[in-house]
Structure 1
Amino acid sequence: MDAAAADDDKKRRDKELDALRRKPALQPIPATEIGSFRLTPWQVLHTLGRSIALARRGAGRGLAEHWGSLKYSQALIGEPSAYMGLSAEGRETADYYKALQSSELGTGLALSVATQVLGRRYPHHFVSIIPADTALRAGWALTSRDKGHRSGYRYRPRFFAEVWRPGEPSRVFPIESKGNHSNAAASHDQLASASAHVEAVHVGAWNETPSLLFSTELPLEGPLTVHGLQALGKDGWLSDSAGSGNRDLDQQVEELNIYPGILPPSEEPEPGFHVQPQHYAWFRHVLARTFAAGLTAFAGDGDATVQYLTKRQGQRHFTGFAHAATGSVQDARQELLGVPFVGTDHVFRLNRTRVEAFSGVAEDLFTHLEAGRVQQYRDEVYARRDAWPHASWNSHWGGPVSVHPDGSVLAMRKLREHDRQA
């Protein structure tokens, strides 16, 4: 990766461009922090769907973004004793949509590994994954459409992982994930690029923000490989400090206009985004409510989602008109693996077969989110973090099921004949 970064810097110098500032002192993630764990294709789709629920891409206006993960329903294949890889359909799709498929499947796989790593590193904490662009927009203008002091810097991580437990400071890890259908050399190039993205956000002291970088290699033949690097650091802690104040997570977040730039010791600001001590409590507030917004969007409830976002974060994408086939309404209930869930459903075709998908949140937890009770949701979901069912198939439902510790669920099944007739 170092060689790939040096080669990229040389190309930039030849074009009279400045070299990128990259995360220093990167190292491999120890295998002991990953361990051995099993992952089903629908768990990957669930992770991907949760990650893009607030994506604001296309005409879906936010509410139906997560259904985009279902286009990969048959892209991955594996056996209980085998490594996961691309199916025949996944290989065929890769011929036409290489960049999109490798990026999105890479996201689902990388975030699964990141959650595993951080969960083992912090066994008594909860790990929340939050889209970085949405969180940053609460305090910074990222594009020309955003009001405020625009940074003009296009490098930033895709996600934040917040590692937290009630009543204690949380810790933030910027995460960048990429993917390719090529080989390890392509992953080295992607990791070199990712090192510039995670370096764009500092939480606390200069160059002390821990970060995770991933590039997922999805070859047309053989098992997929997730290449992972980490930057260790002593900071990233969102602790209460002088002037930060205590925060009621049930209250709305105020939108700030923080001047962009990272402040190194005794030097001119570097481009990027710097969360400093006076904003720790505010940023922890932003992360908690942005995470809640992702859950309510995943359950198809636009009204519940709006309350958690600022204007710049995309309130309007969850209100008003939606184009045909892109809407998502929270009006479905299912009991899966003995847990009552509320959410939204979707019917689509896999070749000639009609398939029903359901996404939602445990009913009792959703009641808190719908009413704006973020603190109570966090207290209860933390207490239940190890109590969720681990089965990946529900016989009564008739299909695969994925339940996350955040209380969300993704389930699929063939559409039953009596449902079709109804």
Structure 2
Amino acid sequence: MDIELLVRSLSQPSRLVVESSAQVVDAVEKYAKDAAAKNDAYRYGKAPFPVTIGPTVGTSPAQVLHELGVATTLLTASPLAQVARHWAHVRYCATLTRQRGMLGLTPSAHSLVYHHKVTQSEQLGIGLALVVAKKVLQRQYRQWTFFAVDAEVALKAGFIDGVGAVERTSKSQKRPDYFLVGHHSSGRRSRMKIVVLECKGTHQPPSFAYGQLARAAVQVRTLSVGGRRPPSLMVASCLAGRQITSYVLDPPGDDELWDGNPDDFDELLHSRPEDHHWRTRPAAADEARTWPAAAADAAPAGTAGPASADELPPGAPEVFDVPEERRGWFTQILTRAVAATALLFAGDSDTARHYATPRQRGDEEPHSGQLRLFELDPSWATSTATSQPVADGLDAQGTLYRAPLPDGKALEVFRGVESSLYRQLAEGQVAAYLRAAPLISRRWSRSRPRDGVVSLGRDGTVLTIRVTDRRR
């Protein structure tokens, strides 16, 4: 395998097949109805609807890896965090390629044994889902910018019923993956939206993805803000060599989170939110959907292949109720998590900690077994922080990681944030960052990238991958 050719191919524009139709809805509903005969958890799912999207969306392998890297930044709080945060890019840079213009798997990725495929599909499913979800939302809300926030991080600041636990529990299997936080500023008004996102991936046939979407319908229904469920997006991607297909459905809801004048918005985001000590509640019986009882020996449709590792445990899911009067607080939590995510992507965990509540940092519960989401990196791990030019007239502040390759070559992965946006985050100017990020990304789109593969995000983050001489 020519590694330089492989890295260059990451930037090739590719088409990702996307399907959302009444037929997919019917298949997912049939799965949920049949599964509910033996597992009442499926009765608590949202009713899904198709979205207007496709039949393909434009992307690239580098963009998928970029979205994955930003989304999983908060999952690696450890002494090796700075190395681990590059892992998604290093491990999966040889998995995606363009096949006759379509996004597909490389032969090496397609030939993995089953248990490695499970991890691969789960991770790539996150990156693919974020690409698809943001394309859907950009079409629905053309002047908005959406940022991904890990749901565990946001919920941990308000709820004490096991959020952020290290072990996988029956409760955590019924929670969503991410919140997509939307921001729009007209100069007179600042507005925020929230969309709940669940990401799935599989190497199995589409029938397996229908079951994943039926489970996702339960997971995205577990958040309530002011007594109303936010809208959701559920994406299940079927990974295959010739082409990858993402199935996306859109359960509707109330998506307005905050609306006010820019001065009030700036003041809101400048203040520091406190932790709350709310507890989750089991979904009430009247929140369950009713379907005619199926035969006792009925089996869920589309269960061909190995049993799913994310099968829902029986019983009503736990619901996270954010009170109506705490919409401003939830806006603070979500936007500060956006800021922390960008800073951690750039390798600055020290500054990112200032955007976290004590419980998110783990300061309140040192012996509870909870994740320390914002643990400081040791000094040696932050020594590679650097400013790097990434396009004509644009540079980013971030972290460079080098891995040795054969023949005296090295793989260089740089993760960062555009320099002016980085300074705003470092100075606590979250509202200014949210307003400026889409403007900077538009400038980037008109600039000529420097050498190597460059992926530029609407959130101001940048990923570069290139092969260099190891002696540099």
Q: CA deviation at 1:22?
A: 3.2
Answering whether residue 382 of structure 2 is matched by residue 332 of structure 1, we say: no
Q: CA deviation at 1:23?
A: 3.2
Identical-residue share of aligned pairs (%): 28
- The answer (yes or no) to whether the contact 1:153–1:272 under 8 Å persists in 2 is no
Partner of 1:365: 421
Partner of 1:376: 432
Q: CA deviation at 1:145?
A: 7.4
Partner of 2:190: 168
For the structure 1 residues 204 and 43, does the alpha-carbon distance in structure 2 shift closer, same or farther, using more than 3 Å as the test?
same
For the structure 1 residues 226 and 152, does the alpha-carbon distance in structure 2 shift closer, same or farther, using more than 3 Å as the test?
closer
Partner of 1:199: 221
- The answer (yes or no) to whether the contact 1:23–1:231 under 8 Å persists in 2 is no
Partner of 2:457: 404
**How far apart in 2 are the matches of 1:20 and 1:390?**
47
- The answer (yes or no) to whether the contact 1:141–1:151 under 8 Å persists in 2 is no
Higher relative contact order (CA 8 A, sep 6+): 2
Q: 2:107 aligns with which of 88, 108, 115?
A: 88
Partner of 1:232: 252
Partner of 1:210: 231
Alignment of 1:115-126 (within 5 A): 115-126=134-145
**How far apart in 2 are the matches of 1:377 and 1:47?**
19
Q: Structure 1 stretch 288-297 or stretch 373-382: which is displaced more?
A: 373-382
- The answer (yes or no) to whether the contact 2:45–2:217 under 8 Å persists in 1 is yes
How many residues are paired up?
396
Counterpart of 1:6, as a letter, is K
- The answer (yes or no) to whether the contact 2:416–2:462 under 8 Å persists in 1 is yes
For the structure 1 residues 20 and 36, does the alpha-carbon distance in structure 2 shift closer, same or farther, using more than 3 Å as the test?
closer
**How far apart in 2 are the matches of 1:305 and 1:4?**
42
**How far apart in 1 are the matches of 2:239 and 2:79?**
28
- The answer (yes or no) to whether the contact 1:390–1:403 under 8 Å persists in 2 is no
**How far apart in 2 are the matches of 1:330 and 1:310?**
27
For the structure 1 residues 153 and 94, does the alpha-carbon distance in structure 2 shift closer, same or farther, using more than 3 Å as the test?
closer
**How far apart in 2 are the matches of 1:276 and 1:364?**
36
- Match of 1:227, SS? strand
Q: CA deviation at 1:264?
A: 7.0
Q: Deviations 1:181-225 (Å, cap 9, x if unpaired)?
A: 01101101100111111011123344x421100111002x42110
For the structure 1 residues 227 and 349, does the alpha-carbon distance in structure 2 shift closer, same or farther, using more than 3 Å as the test?
farther
**How far apart in 2 are the matches of 1:173 and 1:145?**
20
- The answer (yes or no) to whether the contact 2:176–2:197 under 8 Å persists in 1 is yes
- The answer (yes or no) to whether the contact 2:226–2:325 under 8 Å persists in 1 is no
For the structure 1 residues 237 and 183, does the alpha-carbon distance in structure 2 shift closer, same or farther, using more than 3 Å as the test?
same
For the structure 1 residues 217 and 412, does the alpha-carbon distance in structure 2 shift closer, same or farther, using more than 3 Å as the test?
same
- The answer (yes or no) to whether the contact 2:195–2:231 under 8 Å persists in 1 is yes
- The answer (yes or no) to whether the contact 2:410–2:468 under 8 Å persists in 1 is yes
Q: CA deviation at 1:62?
A: 4.7
Name structure 1 gaps, 5 residues minimum: 13-17
Q: CA deviation at 1:42?
A: 1.1
**How far apart in 1 are the matches of 2:274 and 2:225?**
19
Counterpart of 1:164, as a letter, is H
- The answer (yes or no) to whether the contact 2:402–2:411 under 8 Å persists in 1 is yes
For the structure 1 residues 409 and 383, does the alpha-carbon distance in structure 2 shift closer, same or farther, using more than 3 Å as the test?
closer
Q: Deviations 1:299-343 (Å, cap 9, x if unpaired)?
A: 00111111011232236554446599xx35562121111211110
Partner of 1:15: none
Name structure 2 gaps, 5 residues minimum: 1-27, 289-315, 363-371
**How far apart in 2 are the matches of 1:162 and 1:145?**
20
Q: 2:200 aligns with which of 159, 173, 178?
A: 178
Alignment of 1:341-352 (within 5 A): 341-349=396-404
- Match of 2:343, SS? helix
**How far apart in 2 are the matches of 1:179 and 1:266?**
31
For the structure 1 residues 60 and 118, does the alpha-carbon distance in structure 2 shift closer, same or farther, using more than 3 Å as the test?
farther
Q: Structure 1 stretch 342-351 or stretch 223-232: which is displaced more?
A: 342-351
**How far apart in 1 are the matches of 2:356 and 2:398?**
20
RMSD of equivalent CA atoms: 3.0
